[in-house]
Amino acid sequence: MWIYKYNDQFIYMPGEEKLMNEHEKMPEGFTDVPPPVESYIAKFDPVEHKWEETATQEYINNLKTKPKPNDLEILKEQNAFLTKQMVQILRDIKGLKSL
């Protein structure tokens, strides 16, 4: 059976799982209860014998990456930037002509 490690604060330690024979004694800091598949900071409750999610929504949101813009979005941004530059250049030229 697979066992899952948690640290001294009962936080799940991903990658520290071990395969153990059923007749062996459970080592300290491990449980046979699998943590949630989609968890960020899972904490084990030894009294309830279950995992809880302890990550805040802000922490979770910060981990999510923004999708890369597609080609059309990039072109729109470049077009807006160039249009803004062109307007500024035309204003500068108009100001020089009036001198």
* Percent of the chain clearing pLDDT 70 (strictly above): 100
Enumerate the domain spans of the chain.
2-62, 66-97
pLDDT tens-digit map of 18-42? 999 988 999 999 999 999 988 899 9
Answer yes or no: pTM beyond 0.75: no
Q: What is the dihedral of CA 82, 85, 90, 96, to 10 degrees?
A: -150
What does the alpha-carbon distance between residue 99 and residue 89 come to, in Å, rounded to a whole number?
A: 16
Label residue 39 exposed, middle or buried (CB < 10 Å: 0-12, 13-18, 19+): middle
